Amino acid sequence: MSEGLRERKKRETRQRISDIATWLFVTKGFDNVTVAEVARTADVSVNTVFNYFRTKEDLLLDRQGEVENLLSGVVRERHPGESALQALRRDFLDAIDTRHHRYGFHEGGDAFARMLMTSRSPSLNARLREMNEARERALAATLADEVGAGPGDLTPALVAAQVSAVVDRLVTHAVERMLAGETVDAIAPGLRRQAERAFEMLESGIGDYGARHPGSPVPASAARPDGESE
């Protein structure tokens, strides 16, 4: 069903408020911007802002669902014959090569990271931790579902924890170098080599866990939202 005019206007309004809020947070610091200032700058009422965003943190973290489901989505959409780890490696290296924002390594990413790191907001820091934990849980749940792991099998959770730790460490390393003044183009070659090495180390332990072999049935849970399988 196509998006109606009312729904489109609501979506555009929500996106505009979020974009303005993010710009203010990055420019002035998260702690120094109020919801009232966001509303004034966006030319809407404070009530309108809260109609779209439950909290101030939601204004900044409007892509929370996308972040939390990133790794699990990569696994669900992996190629035939490709293991979970191979898919995650491919996606991470692609993000480095294309400078895509999904892992935080892109032009301008240093300003966003600096804003997060300088915030003294306990609620924002708690939300960031919750997002990382939710991302790891989502990956573990997807792995368990894809391989049919039993309720007592810790393997999916162990794999998810290892992958999440590697991704976090690589991203943190890249962000630290960006904050030190290096450009993404200068960082990319070394980051790619270290990412390849990190995934090779995981490969020796995780191996072909979660490989989808050609011709194997696609789990019902991996079907696309429109009902069509991959």
Question: Mean per-residue pLDDT for 63-69?
Answer: 94
Question: Mean per-residue pLDDT for 113-130?
Answer: 94
Top CATH class of 64-222 equals mainly alpha
Task: Say whether pLDDT at 80 is over 60.
Answer: yes
At 209 the pLDDT is 74
pLDDT averaged over every residue in the chain: 91
Top CATH class of 5-60 equals mainly alpha
Q: What is the DSSP letter of 218?
A: P
At 216 the pLDDT is 65
Considering the chain, tell me which residue range(s) the CATH 1.10.10.60 domain(s) occupy: 5-60
Quick check: 162 and 202 in contact, CB under 8 A? yes
pTM of the complete model: 0.85
At 113 the pLDDT is 93
Residue found by looking up tokens 């072909």 in the block: 208
Query: Taking Cα atoms as reference points, which of 36, 37, 171, 15 lies closest to residue 100?
Result: 171
Query: Taking Cα atoms as reference points, which of 188, 25, 6 lies closest to residue 94?
Result: 188
**Rg of the chain over all Cα atoms, to the nearest angstrom:** 20
Q: What is the pLDDT of residues 152-202, one digit of tens each?
A: 999 999 999 999 999 999 999 999 999 999 999 999 999 999 999 999 999
